[in-house]
A = this chain, B = another copy of it.
Amino acid sequence: MQSQLRKDLLDAFTKADGAYLSGQHIAELIGCSRTAVWKHIGELRKEGFELEAVRRKGYRIVKTPEKITADELRLGLTTKFIGKNLHYEETVDSTQKIAHRLAYDDAPEGTVIIAEEQVSGRGRMARRWHSPKYTGIWMSIILRPNISLPKAPQLTLLTAVAIVQAIEELTGLLPEIKWPNDILIKGKKVTGILTELEAESDRINSIIIGIGINVNQTKEDFPSDLEQIATSLLLEKGETVSRADLIKGIFTNLEKLYLLYLEEGFLPIKLLWESYAISIGKKITARTLTQSIIGKALGITDDGVLMIEDDHGKIHHVYSADIEL
């Protein structure tokens, strides 16, 4: 959409002040065909505008996109380092990719990259992550803990706790954690966490935590293959949730837990994590790259490794897997 046409179209809606504008009237006002009007209305919807269309009356804007601004995120943020160096982007390939580049270029610890939309967002194992515009939280956080490489997955668990706490505080909803990196509400996925790292030989240079949260998606926003397995905070709560407030809540909780972790190690995090974990004590199937293990999830080790006891009483240590409950 050319910017002048968009400006004219938005001006027309502004002047209408909530009244309906017919397609024909809009076409005359901005000087284009009715087909073009229909196309431009579609563009606005894609950008987060909610438009009501009523037969014989026309269109009106019901809601403008709830776009986050970097200023809104900075206002009232009380963290010491997480989110202090904030990169806010409209559209990106993936926030993880940008974060990797910034991390390699010595971006300070706590640097955050937030995008309104990812065109090729990635989940674990290079799976596609659906991240449409203005509806969710798609962000990456750079941490630089002085820990050994095998401890890196602990940061996934720590981040999950921070997000569960932030969602609970803001919405009253009670999310649960599915090992290792999913957060569910009533069995449907609301959040995924992807922990990546850059290291020099045996020394961690940066840990890059990717977070995807479905916040204000409606049922129609989910592709049909995700409808049964994914949900949003809006759908569970029945009202829109402020993404800016949730982001700030995550920063605050994450920084608190991270400092605790650096000070006291993984144990206090582990106890919190277990209190939110859905799979512990249940019979699960864990699919690793090489095998499927069926058994009872006993818990996680002090290193964050999942322990499963199979029917023969043998205990398996699972470092990475997909879990089915």
**Chain B residues with CB below 8 A from A196, complex form:** 198-201, 205
Q: Which of A24-32, A149-157, A160-168 contacts B (4 or more CB under 8 A)?
A: A149-157
> Counting CB contacts under 8 A, is A220 at the interface?
no
Measured CB to CB, the closest approach of chain B to A273, in angstroms, equals: 15
- The answer to whether A124 and B319 have CB atoms under 8 Å apart is no
- The answer to whether B202 and A320 have CB atoms under 8 Å apart is yes
Measured CB to CB, the closest approach of chain B to A284, in angstroms, equals: 19
A319 is contacted by which of B97, B202, B320 (Cβ under 8 Å)?
B202
Q: How many copies does the complex hold?
A: 2
- The answer to whether B320 and A201 have CB atoms under 8 Å apart is yes
Interface readout for A105-137 with B: 1 if CB under 8 Å, 0 if not?
100000000000000000011000000000000
A104 is contacted by which of B100, B153, B320 (Cβ under 8 Å)?
B100
> Counting CB contacts under 8 A, is A197 at the interface?
yes
- The answer to whether B198 and A197 have CB atoms under 8 Å apart is yes
Q: Which residue from chain B places its CB closest to the CB of A94 in the assembled complex?
A: B104
> Counting CB contacts under 8 A, is A101 at the interface?
yes
Q: How far is the CA of A149 from the CA of B197 in the complex (A)?
A: 11
**Chain B residues with CB below 8 A from A180, complex form:** 201
> Counting CB contacts under 8 A, is A282 at the interface?
no
Q: How far is the CA of A165 from the CA of B19 in the complex (A)?
A: 80
**Chain B residues with CB below 8 A from A152, complex form:** 149, 199, 201-202
**Chain B residues with CB below 8 A from A319, complex form:** 202
Measured CB to CB, the closest approach of chain B to A41, in angstroms, equals: 36
Q: Which residue from chain B places its CB closest to the CB of A152 in the assembled complex?
A: B201
> Counting CB contacts under 8 A, is A190 at the interface?
no
Given A97-B104, A100-B104, A153–B320 Cβ distance below 8 Å? no
Measured CB to CB, the closest approach of chain B to A117, in angstroms, equals: 19
22 pairs of residues in contact across A and B, judged by CB atoms under 8 Å = A97-B105, A124-B200, A124-B201, A149-B149, A149-B150, A149-B199, A150-B150, A150-B202, A152-B201, A152-B202, A153-B201, A156-B201, A194-B200, A196-B198, A196-B199, A197-B201, A198-B198, A199-B199, A201-B320, A202-B319, A202-B320, A203-B320
